[in-house]
């Protein structure tokens, strides 16, 4: 085999070198374009047209910081408790409905936080059915006669976001539990430890790196949220960025708040890596053997049922049922030309972004396979920065270079031909697709890179020995083998784009709405029932990837 490859290289040395170099250049250019928004935010923050940073420090920024930290701490606590408890229960304990909860625990993933916030506001507000029924039952006349928790508050936003983000912790914790050795559980049992004792003494310390990754993703998504905090009037950094840009008209100030948010992201990523700096784990020899679940008493079985059922009911079933009821009741009013047009807009943008991220992700991952150098690994990390950037921050980073390009082209045409080009990139669908691509490129690139690592290099050698170029090898050998991974990655990116709100609100063209912004506009006008149908479409679109993710995890390990 090696002789055949050497003969091929000797026969076409210049062609092989040029082809390989093209992949490297393409990867470098792509990485530079994808990393451009981050650089734009930093430059604009350091050199704003009007420096309002001292004003922000003296007035609103401390409040934004404190509220953001409180929100993140509350969400972290909720997601850790629900995610870890449910992951341990469905993985290691035998109780009624365990098979159902294995995948049902992921269903809240399909519900955007802003949608669940709108639903519970309609249910729990003063004029909602819950408080109305309480007044009827107990003879109360107004709010002064009784106390009821305020849903539109920091605590309410914390609960809403926590209910839909705990699957991050559940997903990674369950995968970590499934990878652990059965001998650890057997030793723990032989020493007389219960299921709970085994969890805290043996399982959780080993699963800590995976849990840390899940929690960091939760906190970054919390930082990204705008729909919930805006609807509940919670003044976080994201809300402050929108207020500084949209209401005060100060893009430089918005960039400075965006830089503060980026600092949060850097701290989160650094803490996550620091927490597992001294941990090095290897797969146990018996980690493919069936796990024997703990046999629990009847009361403890029902505790496990409650631990799993409560987040599923309140995080998915109740919101979905409420949306379904409103969608049916207001179907004739909701199904109109605006709804159809906005649905098509969402499908077009999400489909285009999914395809774009897939193409770029394959290019970057395959370039690294051809050039597995330190520089290429750095480029892969840079290309994944967008996933850690909150949508509002990304919007600032995208609008600056695109607007600069538009102004540059317009200036040339005005000076030389006396005509104006208008908006070529900024203020168009291109800006949205670009933002989506930068934000979710890490999903496709990471999935493809992981799948490529499982393909033996001998496949490449055989293809090259037959005279195929790297491009032909990718098309004829690797892509057919990666079909399942590509479909899953595209579906995940598609659903993420369907739900994305902050960047879409800022970058969408004039009179252009997606389902996410359509729902937001209705909710802002307090027409929650009319937003049910488009919100339900967003939720339903997210269920298919959830089922695929759950199946892929379950298939990794047999449980007896």
Q: What is the pLDDT of residue 234?
A: 92
Query: Which whole number is the average pLDDT over 529-549?
Result: 83
Separation of alpha carbons 43 and 208, rounded Å: 37
Q: What is the pLDDT of residue 48?
A: 82
Q: How far is it between the farthest Cα atoms of the chain?
A: 92
Q: What confidence tier does 204 reach under pLDDT thresholds 50, 70, 90?
A: confident
Q: Is 408 a residue whose pLDDT tops 60?
A: yes
Q: Is 244 a residue whose pLDDT tops 70?
A: yes
Q: Is 70 a residue whose pLDDT tops 90?
A: yes
Q: Is 531 a residue whose pLDDT tops 80?
A: yes
Q: What is the pLDDT of residue 551?
A: 67
Tokens for 113? 């936080």
DSSP one-letter string for 451-483: HHHTS-HHHHHHHHHTT--HHHHIIIIIHHHTH
- Summarize pLDDT for 83-103 with one digit per residue, the tens: 999 998 888 888 898 889 988
Tokens for 278? 């001294």
Q: What confidence tier does 3 reach under pLDDT thresholds 50, 70, 90?
A: very low
The model's pTM is: 0.83
What is the percent of the chain where pLDDT is above 70? Answer: 88
Strand ranges (E), 107-263: none
Average pLDDT in the chain: 82
DSSP one-letter string for 228-266: HHHHTT---HHHHHHIIIIIT--HHHHHHHHHHHHHHHH
Q: What is the pLDDT of residue 212?
A: 83
Contact 492, 545 (CB under 8 A): yes
SS3 93: strand
- Summarize pLDDT for 352-391 with one digit per residue, the tens: 999 999 999 888 888 888 887 788 878 877 777 777 778 8
Strand ranges (E), 380-444: none
Q: Is 2 a residue whose pLDDT tops 50?
A: no
Provide Rg for the chain, Cα atoms: 26
- Summarize pLDDT for 250-286 with one digit per residue, the tens: 888 888 888 888 888 878 777 766 665 555 444 444 4
Partners of residue 559 on adjacent β-strands: 291
SS3 283: coil
Best CA proximity match to 387, nearest among 532, 262, 233, 287: 262
The pairing of strands 93-94 and 294-295 is: parallel
Q: How many CB atoms lie within 10 A of CB 393?
A: 32
Kind plus residue range of the DSSP H or E element containing 94: strand 93-94
């Amino acid at each position: 085999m090696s002789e055949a490859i050497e003969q091929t290289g000797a026969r076409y040395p210049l062609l092989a070198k040029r082809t390989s170099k093209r992949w490297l250049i393409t990867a470098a250019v792509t990485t530079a374009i994808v990393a451009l928004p981050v650089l734009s935010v930093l430059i604009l923050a350091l050199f704003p047209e009007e420096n309002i940073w001292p004003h922000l420090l003296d007035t609103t920024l401390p409040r934004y910081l404190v509220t953001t930290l409180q929100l993140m701490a509350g969400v972290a606590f909720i997601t850790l408790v629900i995610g870890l408890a449910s992951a341990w229960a469905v993985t290691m304990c035998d109780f009624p409905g365990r098979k159902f909860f294995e995948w049902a625990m992921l269903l809240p993933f399909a519900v955007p936080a802003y949608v669940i916030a709108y639903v519970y506001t309609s249910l729990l507000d003063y004029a909602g059915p819950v408080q109305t029924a309480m007044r009827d039952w107990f003879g109360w006349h107004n709010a002064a006669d009784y106390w009821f928790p305020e849903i539109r508050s920091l605590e309410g936003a914390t609960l809403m976001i926590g209910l839909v983000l705990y699957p991050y912790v559940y997903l990674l914790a369950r995968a970590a539990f499934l990878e652990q050795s059965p001998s650890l559980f057997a030793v723990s049992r032989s020493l007389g430890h219960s299921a709970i004792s085994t969890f805290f003494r043996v399982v959780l310390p080993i699963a800590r790196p995976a849990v840390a990754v899940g929690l960091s993703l939760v906190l970054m998504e919390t930082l990204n949220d705008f729909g919930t905090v805006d609807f509940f009037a919670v003044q976080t950094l994201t809300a402050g960025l929108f207020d500084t840009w949209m209401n005060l008209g100060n893009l430089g100030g918005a960039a400075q708040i965006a830089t503060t948010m980026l600092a949060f992201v850097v701290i989160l990523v650094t803490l996550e890596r620091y927490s597992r700096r001294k941990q090095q784990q290897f797969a146990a020899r018996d980690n493919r053997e069936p796990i024997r679940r703990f046999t629990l008493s009847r009361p403890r079985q029902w505790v496990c049922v409650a631990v799993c059922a409560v987040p599923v009911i309140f995080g998915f079933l109740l919101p979905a049922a409420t949306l379904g009821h409103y969608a049916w009741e207001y179907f004739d009013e909701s199904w109109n030309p605006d709804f159809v047009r906005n649905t098509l807009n969402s499908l077009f943008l999400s489909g285009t972004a999914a395809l774009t991220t897939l193409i770029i992700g394959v290019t970057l991952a395959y370039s690294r396979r051809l050039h597995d150098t330190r520089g290429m690994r750095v480029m892969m990390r840079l290309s994944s920065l967008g996933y850690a950037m909150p949508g509002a921050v990304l919007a600032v980073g995208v609008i600056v270079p695109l607007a600069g390009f538009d102004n540059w082209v317009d200036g040339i045409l005005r000076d030389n031909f006396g005509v104006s080009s208008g908006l070529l990139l900024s203020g168009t669908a291109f800006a949205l697709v670009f933002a989506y691509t930068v934000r979710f490129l890490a999903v496709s690139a990471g999935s493809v890179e992981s799948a490529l690592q499982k393909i033996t290099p001998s496949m490449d050698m055989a293809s090259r020995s037959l005279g195929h170029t790297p491009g032909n090898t990718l098309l004829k050998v690797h892509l057919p083998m990666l079909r399942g991974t590509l479909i899953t990655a595209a579906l995940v990116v598609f659903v993420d784009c369907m739900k994305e709100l902050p960047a879409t609100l800022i970058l969408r063209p004039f009179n252009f709405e997606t389902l996410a912004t359509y729902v937001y506009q209705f909710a802002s006008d307090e027409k929650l029932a009319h937003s049910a149908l488009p919100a339900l479409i967003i939720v339903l679109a997210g269920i298919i990837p959830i089922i695929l993710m759950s199946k892929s995890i379950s298939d990794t390990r047999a449980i007896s």
